[in-house]
Amino acid sequence: MANLLMIESWLQSTGLMLPPLLRDGGHHYVLVTRDPDLYRLPDGEPHPVLALASDVVVAETNDDAALVAAARAVAARRRIDGVLTTCDYYLPAVALVAEELDLPGAPADVLHTATRKHLVRQVLAAAGVPDVPFAVAATWDQAHKAAADLGYPLVVKPVDMNSGTGVRKVLDEAGLAVAFAEAAAPERNTRDQRLERLALLERVLDGPEFSVESVTRDGVTRVLGITAKSVAEPGVDGGSGFVESGHLFPAPLAPDERDAIERHVVAVLGAVGLTHGISHTEVRVTASGPRLIELNPRQGGGYIFELVRLVTGFNPLQVLVDLALGREPVPGPSAAKSAAVTFLLPASDGVVREVRGAQRLADDDRVLSHETPSAGRVVRPGDNNERIGHVLVADPRGQDAKTWSDELASAVTVRLDTMVRTP
């Protein structure tokens, strides 16, 4: 049994699954949060993050000094064996608290770099790791000049957001104006943290997309596997966003392709200086070789953590716990040869009027989990936060999981009452 500090949490997906995993493992955790009321379910009941905590400490988690003081106060009255979070925005804070309490973790300055997309690009350039041409812009004039130097099409993204928020492919100056404003205008994120308000401009990478799930301990990286990713580009405000429409694990790759991707990711993690932690690294395989899309020093979202568990036996959330406690992660039993998830995406802005075909998902033994939107839900294309449902399947004997999930998802019809997007 171990005692952990949990510094904030996501509300969905990993945020729902980590608390019962800790409980079932015999562990206790203290939730440190700036706002306990955030952790409520839609019906008003406590979220599992709140309900399963052995204690809740209210502290300003967006202030490093206040957070460290709160963590020290907890550690003074009870043994603390590790510190963790599922929320991207608090990864540097977790690293800082781990440093201050002499607990396992990555260096805080490394996590600061790893969670800011422009700093990752800069350290790759300094280390000579092959990368995409890029520029950073704080003003429209800087963005305009950078776009002229780089050439269209471009990808524009905020440097410190997550889940594809504000990531846009732009084809011309008009699209650039919209994308730059979306990337640089917001002052705070959803957890009321101040944003840097910088736009990262990158050349568009052509080629199939993959993500690499890795575990790094004592400076040595072990790749758990590679996921093939399907990406849609819904039209948004004069450009297009990027929405992950499905995942397949393991990716169907030739050995030399797999080796090239793994070597590139290990080089990226080494350049950033990540010596401890789980990571989810997104790459595209271009004609010139693998190139980084984004580095995320946490477990993969979009149910990738579940696909990995089903096929390899490594539960990335359990790996997160093991690393926080300084333990060597070990796999559990595996249940499938392949696993896949296909997401339901809205075709346009609108309000859900009717969903047809959902009962088939409930009746099909291949389906391990599924979700469809309820009537009355407002939906809109945009980023990964706007997916409206999913179908997750596993093939215990072969590589048919993605075929099955796509087939099942295509049989679900979501009828919308269209609406006009307000600028």
**Three-state SS letters, the chain:** CCEEEEECCCCCCHHHHHHHHHHHCCCEEEEEECCHHHCECCCCCECHHHHCCCEEEECCCCCHHHHHHHHHHHHHHCCCCEEECCCHHHHHHHHHHHHHCCCCCCCHHHHHHHCCHHHHHHHHHHHCCCCCCEEEECCHHHHHHHHHHHCCCEEEEECCCCCCCCCEEECCHHHHHHHHHHHHCCCECCCCCECCCCEEEEECCCCCEEEEEEEEECCEEEEEEEEEEEEECCEECCEEECEEEEEEECCCCCHHHHHHHHHHHHHHHHHHCCCCEEEEEEEEEECCEEEEEEEECCCCCCCHHHHHHHHHCCCHHHHHHHHHCCCCCCCCCCCCCEEEEEEECCCCCEEEEEEECHHHHHHCCCEEEEECCCCCCEECCCCHHHCCEEEEEEECCCCCHHHHHHHHHHCCEEEEEECCCCC
Residue 107 structure tokens:
């260096």
Task: Return the pLDDT at 165.
Answer: 84
- Assess whether 152 and 229 both reside in one domain: no
Tokens 């429209």 — which residue? Answer: 140
pLDDT interval class at 243 (50, 70, 90): confident
Is residue 116 one of the residues assigned to a domain? Answer: no
**Do 336 and 394 form a contact (C-beta atoms < 8 A)?**
yes
Give pLDDT tens digits for 74-86.
999 999 999 999 9
| Residue 361 counted as domain residue | yes
> What was the pLDDT predicted at 414?
85
Q: Is the model's pLDDT at 180 over the cut of 60?
A: yes
The proportion of the chain whose per-residue pLDDT surpasses 70, expressed as a percent, equals 95
Q: What's the CATH code of the domain at 188?
A: 3.30.1490.20
Asked if the model's pLDDT at residue 269 lies above 90, the reply is yes
Print the domain residue range for 42: 3-103
Is 113 within the bounds of a domain?
A: no
Compare 12 and 110 and report the one with higher pLDDT. Answer: 110
Residue that finishes a domain, picked among 169, 204, 239: 204
The verdict on 284 and 343 lying in the same domain is no
**238 pLDDT exceeds 50?**
no
Asked whether residue 199 falls in the same domain as residue 209, the answer is: no
Could you tell me the two tokens for 24?
A: 């079932």
Domain of residue 87, CATH code:
3.40.50.20
Whole-number pLDDT of residue 266: 97
Asked if residue 276 belongs to a domain, the reply is yes
Q: Are residues 163 and 227 in the same domain?
A: no
Domain presence at residue 127: no
- Report the percent of the chain where pLDDT is more than 90: 78
Q: Tell me which of 103, 118, 144 is where a domain ends.
A: 103
Same domain, 347 and 370: yes
Q: Is the pLDDT of residue 130 over 80?
A: yes
Average pLDDT over residues 305-325: 95
CA distance 306 to 316: 8
Task: Work out how many domains the chain is built from and give that number.
Answer: 4
Residues 362 and 254 in one domain: no
Is the pTM of the predicted complex or chain greater than 0.85?
A: yes
Specify the range with the lowest mean pLDDT, choosing from 8-17, 237-246, 311-320.
237-246
Answer whether residue 294 shows pLDDT above 70. yes
Please indicate, yes or no, whether residues 301 and 391 belong to a single structural domain of this protein. no
Residue 353 belongs to a domain with what CATH number? 3.30.470.20
What pLDDT sits at residue 339?
Answer: 97
Is 157 in the same domain as 56? no
**Cross-strand pairs, 282:** 211, 294
Residue 175 lies inside a defined structural domain of this protein: yes
User: 204, 235, 255 — which closes off a domain?
Assistant: 204
The answer to which of 30-34, 228-232, 238-242 has the lowest mean pLDDT is 238-242
319 and 346 together in one domain: no
128 in a structural domain: no
Residue 126 within a domain: no
Are residues 268 and 209 part of one domain? yes
Whether residue 191 is found in the same domain as residue 235: no
Same domain, 67 and 168: no
